[in-house]
Amino acid sequence: MTTLESLETKATLISAPIRGAGDGMETEAPPKSEVTSGVHPVKRHVPPSPRKKAVPSESPGVLQLGKVLTEKAVEVEAVRLLVPKAAITHVVPNKNAKLKSLGHHKGELLGQSEGVGELRKERLEVKNVLEKLKNSERRLLQDKEGLSNQLRVQTEVNRELKKLLVASVGDDLQYHFERLAREKNQLILENEALGRNTAQLAEQLERMSIQCDVWRSKFLASRYFLFSIVFHFPVLQSDF
Per domain, the residue ranges of the chain are 3-92
Q: What is the DSSP letter of 64?
A: P
pLDDT, tens digit, for every residue of 65-102?
555 566 666 666 777 777 777 777 766 555 555 555 66
Please compute Rg for the chain using Cα positions: 76
Q: Which residues contact 54 (CB under 8 A, 6 or more apart)?
A: 21
Q: What is the DSSP letter of 17?
A: P
pLDDT > 70 fraction of the chain, expressed in percent and rounded? 57
pLDDT, tens digit, for every residue of 184-208?
999 999 999 999 999 999 999 999 9
pLDDT, tens digit, for every residue of 132-154?
999 999 999 999 999 999 999 99
pLDDT, tens digit, for every residue of 158-190?
999 988 888 877 777 888 889 999 999 999 999
pTM of the predicted model as reported, rounded to 2 decimal places? 0.29
Calculate the CA 135 to chain-centre distance. 10
**Cα(12)–Cα(29) distance, integer angstroms:** 15
**Cα(7)–Cα(87) distance, integer angstroms:** 9
